[in-house]
Structure 1
Amino acid sequence: MTPYEDKSLKDTLQEEKNKLKTMNLKDRLWYIWEYYKLPIIGTAVAAALIISIFSAVRSNSFETALSCVILNSHPTSQEDLAGEYFDQGFRQYLGLTDETKIDVDHSMTVSFGNSDMTEFTYAELAKLSALITSKELDVMIGRKDSIDHFGEMGGFLNLKEALPPDVYDKVKDQLYEVTNQETGETIACGIRIGSTDFLKKTGLDIEDPILGIISNSTRTDNAVKLIRYVFGL
């Protein structure tokens, strides 16, 4: 029989309370951790799990207006200017409600030369491929090597066909073409946006950035609106 089996819960709690009152802070903390660490850990884990589930459910309840990755970029400011550019400026441009989100990831670094491949870059490419395959990605912004890599596999829409006439007329001189290795067809996979204020306003540094719309995007209307927004149309 344990010391508490013949006592009521109320008596046990009162005894523990009195015992703690006689201890200094250091001893009190040690006693609480020594005798109650399992329920403390259990409570903390349960709370973390509940928060995680709530966050996942809350995130999934939001409609996504646009998903964009910006590859191989480097921030030039400690401020989150990219967040302001997309989640404030572009959000306002689209007239979105708080229940609609814009996903932008500018943390990914990828390379395509065998000598540069590491476990990290393989993991980043796998993540990127999963986003494209699952139709979760709408827009890719990156250097020439990124657009070439995915464009050669038919990864982008032909912007000569996808853009409205008024937008096409404004950006046609900035179109970037890539030849599909399988079909041999050369199409306008992207638009050079280095001449715009995109880099300045996002606080990102990318060599000759090119914007392309993913070929299986389910939100091409908003992707085209992003092009309008970037070029101030």
Structure 2
Amino acid sequence: MKSNKEKFKAMNKKQKMEYIWEYYRFTILGTIVGVFLVGQIIILATKPKVNFDTHLIVTSKMVLDSTKMEEEEQFFQEQFNANLYYLPADWSTMDSSMIINDQLMMLKVQVREVDVFAMSQARYDKYMEIEGFDPFIALDEVPEMASLLEQYKDSLLTATSLEDGKEHVYGIQVETLNHLEAGKFAEPLVISMISVPKNLEKAVEVIDYLI
């Protein structure tokens, strides 16, 4: 019987690539994600720090206009002292690129670079599946959100809180965001706030402007 080494030598280039991917794909993906995270940590540690009052992440299937994106980033910084970050992604899938995007989102949460989310339903659902704590703040317990919740009462997303066992509002579903022209969205979005935002008042202001 031929050894694995002999079998590998007899393969053509395509067969070798398929063999390597079949047996070492998790090692390869782990290495890619590890290198990416180390790079992001270095970037976050060395980039000049701006003391933003709030951070907004917009992530879903979308097409971006880079020129308008820069204009909107400047507008949010001047108007709300907010950092606007676009992350085009299809959260209904989980291939190697999406694993990296997922790790990037987790890193941003850990370093407090996210307060307000405008995300796809798939991304919202994945966060709500996290066990052990409520990933988003209960919007119905934020007095400043009362008028918006009443306005969008037919589009509210609720769930049972792990903290008090009661039903709360954690998201507002919207078809699009008219004030964000840089992103052409291919799916409805869910607006929510992380628990707990750095500056609650500013986070509410950003949500009010978005919808």
Give the Å deviation of 1:158.
1.0
Give the Å deviation of 1:179.
4.4
Distance, in Å, in 1 between the alignment partners of 2:149 and 2:208 is 10
Distance, in Å, in 1 between the alignment partners of 2:194 and 2:158 is 14
* Alpha-carbon displacement from aligned partner over 1:59-115 (angstroms, at most 9, x marks no partner): 21x211221221223226x45324433431x34443x4xxxxx33221342536xxx
Pairing of 1:152-167 with structure 2 (within 5 A): 152-153=129-130, 154-164=134-144, 165-167=146-148
Is 1:87 matched up with 2:74? yes
Distance, in Å, in 2 between the alignment partners of 1:182 and 1:123 is 30
In structure 1, runs of 5+ residues without a counterpart are 1-51, 97-101
- Structure 2 length as normaliser, TM-score? 0.64
In structure 2, runs of 5+ residues without a counterpart are 1-41
User: For the Cα contact (< 8 Å) 1:147–1:189, is it kept in 2?
Assistant: no
Counterpart residue number, 2:197: 217
User: For the Cα contact (< 8 Å) 2:77–2:83, is it kept in 1?
Assistant: no
Counterpart residue number, 1:177: 158
Distance, in Å, in 2 between the alignment partners of 1:195 and 1:128 is 22
Distance, in Å, in 2 between the alignment partners of 1:152 and 1:181 is 11
Change (3 A) 1:80 1:174: farther
* Alpha-carbon displacement from aligned partner over 1:147-197 (angstroms, at most 9, x marks no partner): 111123321111111251333333333322244579765421111232652
Counterpart residue number, 1:69: 57
Residue type at the aligned position of 2:142: A
Pairing of 1:1-233 with structure 2 (within 5 A): 56=46, 59-60=48-49, 62-75=50-63, 78-88=65-75, 90-94=76-80, 96=81, 102-109=82-89, 111=91, 116-153=93-130, 154-164=134-144, 165-179=146-160, 185-194=166-175, 197-198=178-179, 201-231=181-211
Change (3 A) 1:121 1:228: same
Give the Å deviation of 1:124.
1.4
Distance, in Å, in 2 between the alignment partners of 1:223 and 1:139 is 6
Change (3 A) 1:122 1:185: farther
Change (3 A) 1:202 1:108: closer
Distance, in Å, in 1 between the alignment partners of 2:91 and 2:177 is 25
Distance, in Å, in 1 between the alignment partners of 2:150 and 2:162 is 28
Counterpart residue number, 2:15: none
Paired-residue identity, %: 18
Give the Å deviation of 1:205.
1.1
Aligned Cα root-mean-square deviation (Å): 3.1
Distance, in Å, in 1 between the alignment partners of 2:69 and 2:157 is 24
Distance, in Å, in 2 between the alignment partners of 1:196 and 1:136 is 21
Give the Å deviation of 1:210.
1.0
Q: Which has the larger radius of gyration?
A: 1
